[in-house]
A = this chain, B = another copy of it.
Amino acid sequence: MKTKKNSTIHDISKKLNLSIATVSRALNNSSKVKPRTKAKILAAASELNYQQNHVALALKSGQSKIVGVVVPFLNHNFFSSVIGSIENTLSKENYHVAIYQTHESYETEVKHIKALLNAQVDGIFLSASKETKDYGHINEVLERNKPLIFFDRKLNVPGTSSVVIDDFKAAYEATTHLIKQGAKKIAHFAGDFQLEIYQNRFNGFIEALKDNHLDFDKRFFYRTDQNVEGGIKGMKSIWQYKDKPDAIFSSNDFAVGGAIQVIREYGLSIPKDLLIAGFSNEPFTQFMETPISTVDQAPLKMGETAAEIFLKKIRKEENLTKENSIILNPTFFPRASSLKNRS
């Protein structure tokens, strides 16, 4: 198989018998090169297939038409929906969306951000890993004059923008719903409070209890990762006492998936023995024979809004470091898993 090599400025220099400095200046669109010479160089560059190298062009023009999206994981429909929406909005402007996942590792997040900067991306969308406490890599993005837009999981770094939902309100609404359905002893599957979203979901939960003069039994609190295993352990933990909870408000849907496996194993039934509400509106919550009540986090609107902030900045319609803090409205979907008093 024959190898097709991209040409370099050396090839252009050789072909035109011009110095490398002149060729380089022309490709950098320097005013030091005469227009006629510049035209000749650009023609040769085109002929020699030099123009096809976006990265080389990006190194010169500062625009690669690639944006990076960095998320904790891809196997959650919420994240893939946001990404799909960013892609949808930006593909109309001919941007490519390169996706990286951190698996919740701060170190991986830093590496990916640096790799994206080195790949000359035009901007970065980030949903932070739960380990991230240091903001050096975020500031590096801003120092390189690239927009950084957080979505869902934001860090409070000056100069960045963010699109999130009102997690407090969503949790307050879901909890109030459970109480209205008769729940008095509600368990909570919490996320890592290092992340604002999980702290806010917990706060909304507690506030709803207070407003309804209900106590929170700390034995019914379980901190879990967003996965099935966490829900299995969580259900076993909250069910070990003589006194049982009558509902669960979970800060994520996957833990609900796990809890349901234990509920089945224990011979319990939903919503008769236990009301359940989750968070994220993962598609499987609808598949279940007893569909699960959950909070929709407006992923399509979130992706679209984040992409529009990027476009405004890249088009210089607003300053790179002008901070947009968009809070979208979540929607609570009551379904069979928490409807004790069906009309």
Chain A residues with CB under 8 Å of chain B are: 1-4, 9-10, 13, 19-21, 24, 52-56, 58-59, 64-66, 73-75, 77, 80-81, 83-84, 87, 91, 96-101, 103, 108, 111-112, 115, 118-120, 140, 142-145, 159, 228, 257, 260-261, 264, 283-284, 286-290, 321
Main secondary structure of the interface of A (DSSP, over half): helix
Contact A97 B100 (CB under 8 A): yes
Which 4 A-B pairs rank lowest in CB-CB distance, beginning with the nearest? A284-B284, A54-B118, A75-B80, A99-B99
Q: A96-B112, A97-B100, A98-B99 are in contact. Are A1 and B142 (CB under 8 A)?
A: yes
* Inter-chain pairs besides A91-B108, A287-B288, 18 sampled, C-beta below 8 Å: A1-B142, A1-B143, A1-B159, A4-B143, A19-B21, A20-B20, A21-B21, A64-B119, A73-B80, A75-B84, A87-B103, A98-B99, A119-B119, A257-B283, A261-B286, A264-B289, A287-B287, A289-B289
| A103 CA / B77 CA spacing, docked (Å) | 14
Residues of B contacting A286 in the complex (Cβ-Cβ under 8 angstroms): 228, 257, 261
User: Which residue of B has the minimal Cβ distance to A260?
Assistant: B287
Contact B287 A290 (CB under 8 A): no
Contact A81 B75 (CB under 8 A): yes
